[in-house]
Structure 1
Amino acid sequence: MGKKLAIDFGNSNTTVAVWNESLEREELIKIQDITRRYKNPKGHSDSETYCIPSIINFEGNNVLIGQEVFYRGKEFHQGTFRDIKRYIMKRKSLPKDIGGSRLSFYEAGEKFVSELISRVSKILDDKIQELIFTLPVDAFQHYQEWISEVCRKLNIDYYRVLDEPSACAFGYDMGANEGEILMVFDFGGGTLDVSIVKFEFALNKERKSIVVGKGGSSIGGIDIDTWIMEDLLKQNDLSVEEVQHIINHLRQNIEDIKIELSFNKEASISVFDDRKGILISADYTREIFEKILIKNNLFNIIQETVDDALEEAALRGIRRREIKNVLMIGGSSLIPSVKKILEEKFPERVRSYTPFDAVVKGACRYGAGKVLDDYIKHDYCLKHWIWSDDRYSGRYGYQPFIPRGTRYPVQDVAKFKIDAAVPGQKEVELMIFEVRPNNSQKLKNEMVYNSDTGKYEIIVTSVSGEENKVLVNEKNPTFIKLDPPAKGGEKRISVSFNIDINRLLRITVVDLKTNCVLYKNQPVVKLS
């Protein structure tokens, strides 16, 4: 049936995960030359996480993305776009002149996503069946429209979306219990976003994730790098203009220093300037690093941003003590003094062991139906021979039997009596088809913002337009032997369908002529 792929397109880094059906878990994808390794904190199942820097360079007919932009020294080239997500969220296209043509941040983001999907497709051993994108809460509707347009241009037939705070909760294994409240502290390269999320069940028992409080600041890891750069140049009695020719090398070393001080108490930087014949160096301790952060008012900004989210939640009757867990994501959240602020506000409730990949892991689990929704996401139909009323002619037809939104597990979701097509028929094949919308923009199984209630909701609605039917049990065909052979038009077998807790479609088949049970609770295919 193909792979389920999740993409978390971040302002600084992008992560991609694929669902491994046999292992029943998500796997982060490492793509040669464009990924960068980040050290994970204690508690993570892996020592490192592979991220793709959200950067793209255009030069002539060549396109570079991710880490290869840095390998080629193109990160500050005229044809390079970075901080793409921030500009899209703020609806700033800001076109550049690239090789005689105008290219906007919208188009650069589209090309980044396109190139990323193309490279992922080359390393997968199967086609991509479904894409799951994560969306920021502050620009949900606008950003969703951009994603829809990107998918339309790339001829992506099927995709879904999930807001980033909910994806984070699922990636941290927090689950989604009735009434549970979580805080997501997202401190990445470009922004600081704090969201308080509450999980609720609708009257029809479909689950919903609601953002009840939020705070934000435009400060991020890039700003911290700038502060360290200013301190480094001051210690070496240099100006920015004097080091422009090695600025990229300095920035990379400064980011490494920041990461090193998140895990160790001391770190040093040493860069030799060949042109000037001088060594630019400095020694840093955590104490010195924190003084730089205090000087630039970082901790006050964090306090105010968290308080903004708490105050908004309080207006909705949510108190601080009701927040069950605080989930930290983004590379800048690894800074020990940042974590300390949250631990003082929320003792024993702060979780920070998967800052880089929680969102994409949660989105991948959501796409695989492992969290939040325990309903079937597609319509399914059975193809079989249908005799006309005069019993002398007939045709093959598609009989709908599982509508999208069906809750599972469920017994006797459907039951049919199936006709034999021709005299002397010795077997019947059960062919199960998944019905998909032909146009992804018409898909309505997603988390959306309800302006009337001021809440983000997961809804499941029917779609209009043409549909595609895809055979889903071609690798596991079900042939039912008939002994004795059937007569043409004879209602020969009875088939009933169940869906178990793992979304496996199971059948029980009875031969109506002999009253023999040919299959009992036999698994046919896993639904999605």
Structure 2
Amino acid sequence: MDGVSVSDIAIGIDLGTTNSCVAIVENGSPRILPGAGGALTTPSIVCVDERGNLIVGHQAKRRFLTHPQDTIYGAKRLMGRRFGTPEMEDIQSHFFYEVVEGEQHEPVIRAGGKEFRLEEISAVILGQLKDAAQEALGKRVDRAVISVPAYFTQRQREAVRTAGEMAELDVLRVINEPTAAALAYGFGKRDRQRILVYDLGGGTFDVTVLQLYEEVYEVVGTGGDSFLGGIDFDNRLVQHLVERFQSRHGIDLSQNKVALQRLRDAAERAKIDLSSVEQTQISLPFLATTESGESINFDEVVTRKTYYDLTKPLVLNTLKIVERTLREAGLEKTDVDDIIFVGGMTRAPLVSEMVTKYFGKRPRKDVHPDEVVAAGAAILAEAIQSGKAAVTLADVLPVSIGIGVGKGEFRKIINKNTALPTQKSQMFRTTRDNQTGVAIRIYQGESRQAANNEFLGELRLRFPARPKGEVQIEIGFAVDQESILAVTARDSVTGKAVEAEFQTETAVARERYRADQILGEQQAGEADATAAASEGATADRGGGDRAPSKSGDADAPTTEPPTDEVQQEVGFLRRFLNNLFRR
């Protein structure tokens, strides 16, 4: 905002799969800030219109029905993942927009004739929330704490940080969503208690057990499934309705994107209705057309029992994760004092009934499931910004980290639920004569097979040739409070070490963006000088592309001139991040 002084405040952002929210601490209490039209939550949806402009939030959601292939939703599920995995292929099957493979083997979205990295889409949403905060406060905002699912991996957390930086936000901290919810729940309380946060949102499920005493929030166990959320509940109902229609009329609605999106929208509304009524009617006129040109309407009554039968297995899956998380923390369900519900899906009566039956007690009703995460993120943002030790967070590593060893196996170095920050090292010896180096492949996951876990990167170490077993290699792992990993490898012959915070494709995207900012400022100055010498002259601002070394490569990065393709991408990114949003 031009002419407005830099603010001494920081905001908290809940970057959700289906909806996002922004909050601030004001007069000692968290407050949710309204977005466009006064709504307190913003749909995490971006649409590319006919002119290539990006439409965000509620307007984008309204265009979803008529332009499904150009509307990007659920992008958070794809963030930080690698293209071509079975999980990716399953996710893609439920999206209308096209997902293609990027240069770094990451998923790239193609919509409206353009390609977008996942970080760019999230940056647009974050930029919208930032603008809403500035509009509500009348001050410039450039600092934030952003929440992520507790079960997000290193690569996914890195992607969220990158998105924040692209939105010109100084990301003070990435906080786990259940931890943020616990912060909001415990704010101002002095009770000593153990709580369980059950977070079932639009795209992910998290469960976290915390010990609260005064201003200390200690995570004792966490678990989750980043492929389980409200979208999956909708998919179960949509698939049922598609099958019913096909059995009656012989027409497969899944082959018609516009018709399928109309049905998906109706299914979402029916799901909400069934939270308060026993049955609901879905009526969609002219949903399909026969080969002879006759229009067919869709009319179907959906009962709560039918919906329960379709989705009960999903709720059972969440309770299995709850049980496993408690067991890993050495706890029984009777050790939990309170259950906190987070996420819109916790409003479903089926979820409340099954969780109540499992624990033998009802979840708390005094927290807002859609707003509590943003409020907690704002509390932490205020604490960091003010420099006051108002809260102390003791989090844990959500997913084990280790290395690939012989026969494709995975050896854990730091186990899941280890208190953070932490560091650990292990010694290894060379396995053959005259060996001159090792390639250390880093993974994150729980499977014994390395290939089934998330590949984070590779660190290469070279040393003089020696007989087998004479060279000792020390590999050190350090994980900070945000679950960000740094790895060091040192050999016993030279004593030299190589280290890296893994350059995933998200880090590459961030380095490109930073290089563009520097070159853009330089070229902007050149353009100003040219304009002063010749009135009306214009200058192109090309983007810079610094190509960093591959993950773990000991070689230094090389600098190359920007390509036309990168210039076009960066130019487009700069345009839509400079408030090219339609509210």
Q: Normalization by structure 1: what TM-score?
A: 0.61
- The residue that corresponds to 2:267 in the other structure is 254
- Give the equivalent residue in structure 2 for 1:10: 16
**Equivalent residues in 2 for 1:257-276, closer than 5 Å:** 257-273=270-286, 276=289
CA distance in 2, matches of 1:128, 1:192: 30
> For residues 179 and 144 of structure 1, do their structure 2 counterparts lie closer, same or farther at Cα, with a shift above 3 Å needed?
farther
Selected match of 2:363 from 350, 368, 374: 350
Specify the code of the residue in structure 2 equivalent to 1:313.
Answer: A
Q: Whole-Å Cα distance in 1 between the matches of residues 270 and 219 of structure 2?
A: 38
Say which SS state the counterpart of residue 351 (structure 1) adopts: coil
Alpha-carbon spacing, 1:64–1:447, altered in 2? closer, same or farther (3 Å): farther
Code of the residue aligned with 1:190 in structure 2: it is G
State how far apart, in whole Å, the 2-side matches of 1:102 and 1:129 are. Answer: 27
Q: Deviations over 1:76-121 (max 9, x none)?
A: 6444332222222435531234566542212222232224323432
Q: Find 1:166's aligned residue among 155, 160, 179.
A: 179
Q: Quick one: which amino acid aligns to residue 334 of structure 1?
A: R
Cα shift readout 1:224-262 (whole Å, capped 9, x = no counterpart): 212222332344424224754422222111101101111
Shift of 1:176: 6.8
CA distance in 1, matches of 2:390, 2:182: 23
Deviation at 1:324, TM superposition (A): 1.2
Does structure 1 residue 207 correspond to structure 2 residue 207? no
Shift of 1:8: 0.2
Higher strand share: 1
Q: CA deviation at 1:130?
A: 3.6
**Distance in 1 between the 2:53 and 2:337 partners?**
49
Q: How does 1:98-137 map to 2 (within 5 A)?
A: 102-128=115-141, 130-137=143-150
Root-mean-square deviation over aligned CA pairs: 3.4
Query: Are 2:238 and 1:232 aligned?
Result: no
1:216 and 2:225 correspond? yes
2:77 and 2:227 in contact (8 A); partners too: no
The one-letter code matched in structure 1 to 2:63 is R
Distance 1:75 1:89 in 2: 29
Matched, 1:88 2:104: no
Flag the structure with higher helix content.
2
The amino acid of 1:85's aligned partner reads K
The whole-number CA distance in structure 2 between the counterparts of 1:170 and 1:158 is: 18
User: Is 1:298 aligned to 2:299, yes or no?
Assistant: no
Kindly indicate whether residue 329 of structure 2 is the aligned counterpart of residue 313 of structure 1. Answer: yes
Query: Equivalences for 1:152-191 in 2 at 5 Å?
Result: 152-157=165-170, 159-173=172-186, 180-191=193-204
Shift of 1:7: 0.6
Distance 1:63 1:300 in 2: 39
Q: Does the Cα contact within 8 Å between 1:185 and 1:329 map onto a contact in 2?
A: yes
Count, aligned residues: 368
Change (3 A) 1:245 1:148: closer
Contact 1:162–1:446 (CA under 8 A) maintained in structure 2:
no
Displacement, 1:270?
Answer: 1.0
1:56 equivalent to 2:60? Answer no
User: Counterparts of 1:181 and 1:76 in 2: how far apart (Å)?
Assistant: 47
User: Which residue does the alignment assign to 1:385?
Assistant: none
C-alpha distance 200-172 of structure 1, shift in aligned 2 (>3 A):
closer
Residue of structure 2 aligned with 1:332, choices 341, 345, 362:
345
Are the structure 2 counterparts of residues 157 and 324 from structure 1 closer, same or farther at C-alpha, using a change threshold of 3 Å? same
1:365 Cα deviation from its structure 2 partner: 2.8
Q: 1:222 to 1:136 in 2, by over 3 A?
A: closer
- Counterpart amino acid of 2:221? V
Q: CA deviation at 1:282?
A: 1.6
Structure of higher CA gyration radius: 1
Contact 1:7 1:360 in 2 (8 A): yes
The superposition leaves residues 342-381 of structure 1 with CA deviations (integer Å, 9 ceiling, x where unpaired) of 1112233512452211111222233334xxxxxx865xxx
Task: Give the distance between the partners of 1:77 and 1:158, measured in 2 at CA.
Answer: 32
Cα–Cα, structure 1 residues 447 and 111, in superposed 2: closer, same or farther, change >3 Å? farther
SS at match of 1:138: coil
Residues 1:361 and 1:345: Cα distance change in structure 2 (over 3 Å): same
Q: Which residue of 1 aligns with 2:407?
A: none
Please give the alpha-carbon distance, in whole angstroms, between the structure 1 residues aligned to 2:337 and 2:66: 41
Which residue identity lines up with residue 180 of structure 1 in the other structure?
Answer: Q
Deviations 1:13-66 (A, max 9, x none): 111123333xx4333233226x86xxxxxxxxxxxxx32121222344401112
